[in-house]
């Protein structure tokens, strides 16, 4: 049974189409790499899957519910609980320490300050940056800051982590450290991961890889067991042809 299903997504920016009928499915606990050239639509696809953007057409189902039909407040609530997001440049709050950055999602969810900081400290420990807990983002290396950002994405126990080029701003060693920590933490917690990357070395961490070409998903877009999505993809392929 798929955890996340996208069917026939279309999204344009003005007159420029980014997605042209993209479909895919993600299983519970699966790590899925989404690759493609710059401008192919892979980041737009991730943003639609995570509820950051609403597709112009098509549907996104999360745990059987229509994500694309929710209003922004309900999508934001999902991003604070069931979804964790890691961006290329981390997007940590520069005025806050690493510990406070990781605590923030828990505080927004209603946790006490003490409980939030305790949990944040545990996640910083898991990512090997507990010693940087009182540093602000500008005082850390790029790799350290990105591990803090990844800890922040996982601290709430999300069911899916969306990672958009999480190593794109890092050197190869720092990128390897971030990916190793992310994959280990996701496996340990049972979270699924949607990993957008242009780097074949990063994609190799995934269980499965699909490629976005001109706004369409190529490869094993549905996984081996979701017949309903397979049928949907086949229909869309016939429409496109």
**What pLDDT, on a 0 to 100 scale, did the predictor assign at position 223?**
61
Measured N-to-C along each axis, helices 142-154 and 98-108 cross at an angle, to the nearest 10 degrees, of: 20
Q: What is the pTM of this model?
A: 0.87
Burial of 17 (0-12, 13-18, 19+ CB in 10 A): middle
pLDDT at 91: 85
d(CA 4, CA 31): 12
Per-residue pLDDT tens over the stretch 93-146: 999 999 999 999 999 989 999 999 999 999 999 888 999 999 999 999 988 999
Residue 156, pLDDT above cutoff 60: yes
pLDDT for the residue numbered 31: 97
pLDDT digits (tens, 9 = 90+) for 24-69: 999 999 999 999 998 999 999 999 999 999 999 999 999 888 998 8
Task: State the alpha helices, DSSP H only, in 82-141.
Answer: 98-108, 113-126
């Amino acid at each position: 049974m798929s955890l996340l299903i996208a069917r026939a997504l279309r999204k344009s920016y003005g007159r420029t189409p980014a997605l042209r009928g993209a479909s895919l499915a993600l299983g519970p606990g699966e790590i899925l790499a989404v690759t493609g050239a710059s401008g192919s639509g892979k980041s737009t696809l991730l943003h639609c899957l995570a509820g950051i953007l609403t597709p112009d057409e098509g549907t996104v189902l999360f745990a059987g519910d229509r994500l694309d039909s929710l209003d922004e407040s309900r999508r934001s609530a999902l991003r604070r609980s069931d979804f964790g997001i890691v961006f290329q440049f981390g997007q940590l709050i520069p005025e806050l320490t690493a510990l406070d950055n990781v605590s923030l999602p828990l505080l927004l969810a209603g946790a006490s300050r003490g409980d939030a900081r305790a949990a944040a400290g545990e996640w910083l420990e898991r990512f090997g940056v507990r010693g940087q807990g009182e540093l602000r983002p500008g005082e850390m290396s790029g790799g350290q800051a990105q591990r803090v950002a990844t800890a922040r994405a996982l601290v709430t126990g999300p069911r899916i982590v969306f990672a958009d080029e999480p190593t794109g701003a890092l050197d190869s060693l720092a990128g390897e450290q971030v990916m190793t920590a992310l994959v280990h933490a996701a496996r340990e917690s049972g979270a699924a991961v949607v990993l957008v990357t242009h780097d074949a070395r990063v994609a190799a961490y995934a269980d499965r890889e699909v490629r976005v070409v001109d706004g369409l998903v190529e490869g094993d877009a549905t996984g081996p067991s979701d017949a309903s999505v397979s049928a949907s993809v086949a229909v869309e392929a016939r429409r496109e042809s």
